[in-house]
Every structure is written in C-alpha cells, then in structure tokens.
Amino acid sequence: MKQIFKNIYYKYYQSFFNFSSTKERIIASAKYLSDKEINKKSILLWTTQKTASTFVQKALKSLAKNSQYKYYDYASSIWYLGNIIKLHNPYLIESDCSFLYRKYGEIYGPIRKPFYLKDQNKYINIFFLRDPRDVLVSSFYSRSASHEIPQNNIWKQKFLEVRKKSLIQGIDDYCLEYTDKWIIPYFKQYQYMKDNCPENYFFSYDFFKNSPKDFIRSLSLIMNIQLNENLLGKLTIKATSPFNKKNYRIFYKNKTSHYRSGKSRQFEKELKKETLVKLNTKLYKILEYWNFAI
C-alpha cells in the first residue's frame, strides 16, 4: 500500500512539474508573440574582451530591469557554472545553440566574439569596439597576470598554458601573434556583420570614456527604453569610477610593470616602435574602417 501511494505521488509530482514547465514556456511564448506584434526587436551587443565589458553588462542589466526586455549574458553564466559543464570549449554553447536567441523582446550581451546567428539581420546589432592595439596590450596583461583563473578544470588547463606562453613571449611578440590569430579575424567578421545588418550602430570605446552619459543615453534610445535621471546618474557614476589601479608586474627578460587604467593609446608607450609599425601595417584597413586614429 505504501508503495502504491509513493507511485501515485511520484506520477502526480512529475505531471505537475511537466505542466509547470509547459505553462512557463507558453507564457514566455505569448510574450514573444506580443513583442513581435509591436516589432520590439531583440538586441545583440557585440564587442571584444578588454572593452569595458563589465560595465556594459551592468548597464544592459539595469536598462532591461527598467523595461519589458529580458536580459541574458550567456558567456558570464557559462564562466561561473565552472565544472558543471563538461566540455573542452564550453563557450560553444553561446555560439552554436541558436535556440538560446529570440528575435523579439530580449537583450544579449556583451557578446565578446563574433559568430553567425540565424536571421541576424532581423536583430538590432550594436558594435562597441576599442582600438585593437589597446585591446592587445590590455589582453597581454590580463592573460599574463590579472585575469581570474577559470573555474572549469578543462578550460583552466588551457588558460594556464596560454598564461605561461604569454610570459615567455613578452608583450611585443604576443601582440604580433594575436593580431593575426585573434584581432584581424574578429574585426573583419564584425565589419562583415555591420555591412550586412540593416539596423546597426557603432560606438567607440573613446566615446564611452569621454562621454559616458551620452553613451548610456544613446543605448537607451536605440532600445526605446525610458531612462530616468536617477538611473542615468547611477550608471554614469559606475562608468566613471576609477579603475582599481593594481600594479601588474610581469617578468620576462627584464622587469616591467603596467597599471590598469582603461586609458586609450597606451600601446604607444608599451610597445617598441618597430612593433607598432608592424601592427599599423597589419591593421591599417581595420583602423581605417572603424575610424581609429593611426
């Protein structure tokens, strides 16, 4: 008799759980169709690492809370799930699972790498990019010293191997290697995406640094989100808060140190002249397209 009651309870619980999940999906789908009716397009914010992505995450989350949009930052969620995800490259979830993206009523970002998304031209695409030479310099110090070690054991091993290699290479060789391996492919793909998406916007990192209030206002206008002065003030304070200026001392051949400041054109002081000449040659078309001063 006791076992019969257990079986009945289990079936009831399972049915209730399935009903609740189905109900949630239906409600979410109803909202999706409602957003579609009013043409409330979803938003994709594309960027790269080392481009104020932590602030952008906070800004998008705050803007979504003050609107009817839902907000998702898949890359950060994947990072903090750590060993729960048993994949050699857990970030394939973000790029290869198109069912995670809906064309209406949602905000996604910051997305730190370009990838093909089905019907991408039906989304609002925002590109927020920093001078690639500054991205390279900042990336070197991040990979070599400051970046948090991944919680996923598989990804952690790869990360530590790259860290060790970066320390041996030094900043100049690192920047030259990752210009070809990372920066050129990413920026070229972003250029292709921008050229082929009818509703797109571009904001430079310098615009954000020099006019944070205008940057935040511009985002809210694109998203058609009412931005009150209180929220604008809070976000502006976060955007202008000074960096925690840790001195990252890196050892390779000679001692050198780097202060994390978020300033622009640090590559002019950090890199050798001959390295900078090579970078400018490699990146000339990209710098010209995105209007970064050479």
With helix as H, strand as E and coil as C, how does 115-160 read? CCCCCHHHCEEEEEECCHHHHHHHHHHHHHHHCCCCCCHHHHHHHH
User: Judging by DSSP bridges, how do beta strands 200-204 and 124-129 pair with one another?
Assistant: parallel
Gap between the Cα atoms of 275 and 283, Å rounded? 12
- CATH classification of 41-289 is 3.40.630.30, yes or no? no
Q: Are 203 and 127 in contact (CB under 8 A)?
A: yes
**Predicted structure pTM score:** 0.85
Q: Are 98 and 118 in contact (CB under 8 A)?
A: yes
**For residue range 211-235, what is the model confidence (pLDDT) as tens digits?**
999 999 999 999 999 899 999 999 9
**For residue range 94-149, what is the model confidence (pLDDT) as tens digits?**
999 999 999 999 999 999 999 999 899 999 999 999 999 999 999 999 887 766 77
Q: Which residues contact 148 (CB under 8 A, 6 or more apart)?
A: none
**pLDDT at site 152:** 75
Beta bridge partners of 156: none
